[in-house]
Structures are given as C-alpha cells and as structure tokens.
Amino acid sequence: MRIEVVNPECNQLGEGPLWDLAEQALYWIDSYGPAVYRIDSQGRRTSWALPEHVGSIALREQGGIICSLRSGFHALDVETGKVTLVAQAAPENPRTRINDGKVDRQGRFVAGTMDYEERDPLCALYRLDPDLSVTQLDDGIICSNGPCWSLDGTTLYFADTTKRLIYAYDYDPRNGATSNKRIFADFAAHDLLGYPDGATVDAEGYLWSCEVYRGRLVRFRPDGTLDRVVGLPVDSATSLIFGGPNLDVAYVTSMARPIGGKPPREKEAGMLFAVYGLGVKGVPEPRFAG
C-alpha cells in the first residue's frame, strides 16, 4: 500500500470526494472555502466559488452540479459559475446547514443537515427527487454524514457523527422511502476512538468509513462487524471515494481547520490523498436524475 498527495493545497474543510467514471475526473469540496474543485486524469484543475458553506455535491445527468448549500439545494452551472436555488430543505436556522449527501441508484440525492456546534439533535435527513421535490426521511440528528447504499440499493447507511453511530435503514428503490432504522456499527463498541464521517460501499458490499479525529479508514462487513483498519497521514481525514480508471484508488479528503480549538498537528492536514494497493474496488457513483 502507498499513499500520495493529490492536492497539496490545504482545504479548511475538504469533503465530498466524487469520482466520475465518464469524465475520469475527481471532484471534491472545501465546505468552508466554500468551493468545488475538479482534477482530471491529466492533472488539470478547475474550481468554482460558492456563495455559502457547502456540504456535498452530485453531478447531474443533464449537466452541471447539484450542491447542498447552507440554505438549500442549488444548481451550479459549470460553464458560467452561476449558482441557483432549486429547492429549500431545512427550515432556516443559524445553527444548521446541509451537510454530506450522495445519489442513490435511481438518481435521487439524499443529504442531511448538521448542527454547527455538533451538540444538539436539531437536524434531519432529506431526499431530493428528480422533480426537485424534497422529502424528510428522518430527524433527531446532530451531524449528518456518510450516506451510501448497499449494492442492491435496498439498504441505506447513514452516520450521525456526534453519536459515533452508523445506522442502516431499509430503503425502497421504487420510491426512496426508508423504514426499520437500526444501528449498523457503533464506534464505541468496536473500541474505535474516532468518529464516523464520510463513507462509501465497495464492490464486495463492504462499507468504508473515514474515522475522523483518528485518521483511519475503517472497513465493515455487511453484517456490521469490523473487517479492517487502515492508517492515514492525518488525523483530520474526513471522507473517501474509490476512483481511478479501475476504481481501485481510495481518494481521501481532510481538513486544516482547528480541532478542539487547536490547529492540526500535521502539515499535510487539509490535503487530498490517494491510497493505492488496498486490494478492493469501488462502484460507479450515479448522477442526479433531475
């Protein structure tokens, strides 16, 4: 296994890595930049500034990008840089913003909100459908992170970072409805000292979670038992996605912002990394159908 720096510039809060198979390009965000970044297979970089804090992005089938910004879901025109509100989600609250999100196999975008203070269960989980309608799926959440799906699309995984729990829901691919919420993985029960952040499911159906504040990738079997732990160069690693021509490279974001009032101890904090040689592959990420 080897780890390389892909982007040496330090993001305040690097998040949401997204590999697009058709473009052979990697997208990610700086939530506090706030900005979207793209780097292609030739190393060419593009970026787009955003007007509000951003939690996640999804590419659209019709072109452009859907962004979960603080005030709602927005469309980013990658040609002009124009940002347009397409749907409001959570009620306005100075304590909350939309955070991590991903697209299901049918092209719906699921994202949840987080409490800026990461303290109280003020937040909820939402689904943005292709017709741009919004449905609330759950509430009582402190910090939404890591939505992703089982390979057959019938299980939604979702982390409440502050609670140190990853949940599983039954997910109906026909309409995006959720039911039967249960604990999938309890970080405390597994003696993991960090917190679950961004996540993805690999081609074997195992879930990978980024253990933020501990700097590790944690792989869980489909039954929720611990399979593997991989160390990273920085404690502040935040999220991951599998990419590259063969979908066998794990791209990992990190943050340079202070943790617990103290600056990160590593100079690489906030950089984007590529992890080679894990021996597993990911699956292609769908585009938003709206």
State pLDDT tens for residues 166-219.
999 999 999 999 999 999 999 999 999 999 999 999 999 999 999 999 999 999
Query: Percent of the chain at pLDDT above 70?
Result: 100
The answer as to whether 34 is a domain residue is: yes
Provide the annotated binding site for substrate.
97, 99, 117
Report the residue count for the chain. 290
Of 3-7, 109-113, 256-260, 281-285, the range with the lowest mean pLDDT is: 256-260
User: Structure pTM?
Assistant: 0.97
Q: What is the pLDDT of residue 261?
A: 76
CA distance 123 to 266: 32
| DSSP conformation letters of the chain | -EEEEEE-SPPSSEEEEEEETTTTEEEEEETTTTEEEEEETT--EEEEE-SS-EEEEEEBTTSSEEEEETTEEEEE-TTT--EEEEE--SPP-TTEEEEEEEE-TTS-EEEEEEETTS-S--EEEEEE-TTS-EEEEEEEESBEEEEEE-TTS-EEEEEEGGGTEEEEEEE-TTT--EEEEEEEEETTTTT--SEEEEEEE-TTS-EEEEEETTTEEEEE-TTS-EEEEEE-S-TTEEEEEEETTTT-EEEEEE--S-BTTB--SSTTTT-EEEEE--S----PPPPB--
The total number of structural domains in the chain stands at 1
Domain with 174 in it = 2-276
The answer as to whether 124 is a domain residue is: yes
The answer as to whether 10 is a domain residue is: yes
The answer as to whether 202 is a domain residue is: yes
Confidence bin at 265 (pLDDT 50/70/90): confident
Q: What is the pLDDT of residue 89?
A: 87
Nearest to 127 by CA among 174, 166, 81: 174
The answer as to whether 287 is a domain residue is: no
Q: 68-116, pLDDT tens digit by residue?
A: 999 899 999 999 999 999 999 877 789 999 999 999 999 999 999 999 9
The answer as to whether 129 is a domain residue is: yes
CATH number at residue 249: 2.120.10.30
Enumerate the active-site residues. Answer: 197
Residues whose CB falls within 8 Å of the CB of residue 153, separated by 6 or more in sequence, listed in order: 104, 105, 106, 171, 173
Provide the annotated binding site for a divalent metal cation.
15, 145, 197
The answer as to whether 288 is a domain residue is: no
The answer as to whether 44 is a domain residue is: yes
- Report residue 118 as tokens: 């990461």
